Amino acid sequence: PIPVVLDVDTGVDDALALLLAVRHPALELLAISCAGGNVPIAQVVENTRRVLDLAGAPPVPIAAGMHRPLVETPQDASYVHGATGLGALELPPSGREVEPVHAVELLRRTLLAASEPVTVIALAPLTNVAVLLRMHPEVLPRIARIVMMGGAVGAGNATAAAEFNVWHDPEAAEIVLTSGVPVVMYGLEPFYRATVPAERIAQLGRSADPVARAAGSLLAHLAGVTEDEGRVDGAGAAAIGDAGTVAAVIDPTLLQLRRAPVRVALAEGPTRGCTVVDLRSGLGAGGEATKDAESHVEVVLDLDGARCAELFLAAVDAGAAV
């Protein structure tokens, strides 16, 4: 299996991602770090523990991390994820332990102890990951790559220009994208591409398997939101969002990638948090080299959405084979 750590701000689609990561045999989940984002940090930790119980996860170290962005004022995303962060899904309290260390320290220890370089799957604002890179440069060679859900080549979602995770902590995203560590930027283009149609969501909701039923509830919540956003095809369909980022680690053949430098717009104003992806090849308009071949960042331009959604459904619906 591929050794991974997950950084989450659980979150309806982070919950879908956790279900996939726990249930899919291709991944070895070494640790989970929590960051403030969709909901406040205490709620993120609580949601994460409950979703892990639901998924039947073995004990896996979990820790609470950065409660707010480096510079930005924290922003609430309950308009997308509901008051608790899990839409209408209600889960029983968890007895699962939380490590008595900061999530950045948990990540450091986990990366240094692993027998091979680890893939960091970042599904939240990048505050924890940025602090890790800045505080503990000794972990850099222990990171196989950072696969981050964040940014966009085109339109944003939090604002016209910016995707939520990058908009929430633009400075952290800039640190990660310019760190020199290999990064895969899974932005809004693939994010909205892997979708589950309305009939399949309803079918999940009727399943005897509690994990499938929970996935149905989470997707039904997202269907309402994404319909408002107008980014997903098909009435009542939902994008699996963050879960697609986990699927991309399990099966990289789902992705169409392009190596390109990416910077984050940091100035105040309408472009703050926008990921500026330099897709020019060779010489730029001004005659300068764009250095795309040397970039440490690969941007996901497109995704096989149907296969990605199938991978997800096969793992979370016990009726189907993985």
C-alpha–C-alpha distance, residues 43 and 86, integer Å: 10
Residue count, binding to Ca ion (CB under 5 A): 5
Q: Is 190 in the site for ligand BDR (CB under 6 A)?
A: no
Nearer to ligand BDR, 124 or 142 (CB): 124
Q: Is 13 in the site for ligand BDR (CB under 6 A)?
A: yes
Q: Is 7 in the site for ligand BDR (CB under 6 A)?
A: no
Give which of Ca ion, ligand BDR, none residue 292 binds (C-beta under 5 to 8 Å, depending on kind): none
Tell me the backbone φ, ψ of residue 118, rounded to 5 degrees.
-110, 145
Single out the segment in contact with ligand BDR by CB under 6 A; choices: 7-15, 58-66, 216-224, 303-311: 7-15
Nearer to ligand BDR, 15 or 111 (CB): 15
Instruction: Provide the total of helices (H) and of strands (E) in the chain, helices listed first.
Output: 12, 12
Token look-up 């309950």 returns 78
Q: Give, as ranges, the residues between 214 and 243 that touch Ca ion (CB under 5 A).
A: 242
Which residue of 69, 87, 216, 241 would you call a contact of ligand BDR, by CB under 6 A? 241
Report the amino acid identity of residue 81.
H
Q: Is 11 in the site for ligand BDR (CB under 6 A)?
A: yes
Per-residue contact string for residues 118-147; x = within reach of ligand BDR by CB under 6 A: -----x------------------------
CA dihedral 139, 140, 145, 146 (to 10 degrees): 80
Cβ atoms of residues 298 and 184 within 8 Å: yes
> Distance from first CA to last CA of the chain, Å, rounded?
15
CB of 149 to ligand BDR, least distance (A): 5
Q: Is 163 in the site for ligand BDR (CB under 6 A)?
A: yes
Report the amino acid identity of residue 80.
V
Per-residue contact string for residues 65-94; x = within reach of ligand BDR by CB under 6 A: ------------x--x--------------
Tell me the backbone φ, ψ of residue 263, rounded to 5 degrees.
-125, 160
CB of 14 to ligand BDR, least distance (A): 5
Which residue of 4, 7, 11, 254 would you call a contact of Ca ion, by CB under 5 A? 11
C-alpha–C-alpha distance, residues 286 and 297, integer Å: 22
Q: Is 14 in the site for Ca ion (CB under 5 A)?
A: yes
Q: For the packed helices 41-55 and 12-23, what is the interaxial angle rounded to 10 degrees?
A: 40
List alpha helices for the chain, DSSP H.
12-23, 41-55, 78-81, 103-113, 127-135, 164-168, 170-177, 188-191, 198-205, 210-229, 242-250, 305-316
Q: Is 123 in the site for Ca ion (CB under 5 A)?
A: yes
Nearer to ligand BDR, 123 or 194 (CB): 123
CA distances for 298 relative to 179, 193, 219, angstroms: 13, 18, 28
CB of 37 to Ca ion, least distance (A): 6
Which residues form the interface with ligand BDR (CB under 6 A)?
Answer: 11, 13-14, 38, 77, 80, 123, 149, 157, 163-165, 241-242
